[in-house]
Amino acid sequence: LGTCTVQPASTLLDAAALLREQALGDSAFRHLVVRTEAGAFLGVLSALDLARALCSSTSKEGIASRLGSSVAADIMKPSGALIVCPPDALLQDVLEQMSASRQNCVLVADGELSASSLVGVVTPRDAMRAFVEHVPLSVEVGRWLHGLQSDWRPRAVERESPVQECAAKMVGAAVHHLVVLSSGSVAGVLSSTDLAQAVGSAERIVEGFEPADA
pLDDT values of the chain reduced to their tens digit, one per residue, 214 residues: 556 888 888 877 777 777 777 665 555 566 788 898 888 888 888 777 877 777 665 554 455 566 667 899 999 999 999 999 999 999 999 999 988 887 889 999 999 999 999 999 998 888 888 888 999 999 999 999 887 766 788 889 999 999 888 988 998 888 889 999 998 899 999 998 888 888 766 654 334 334 444 3
- Which pLDDT score is estimated for 9? 84
Kindly give the pairing relationship between strand 31-35 and strand 5-6: parallel
- Which pLDDT score is estimated for 213? 42
- Which pLDDT score is estimated for 100? 87
pTM value is 0.75
Distance, in Å, from the CA atom of 214 to the CA atom of 212, rounded to the nearest integer, reads 6
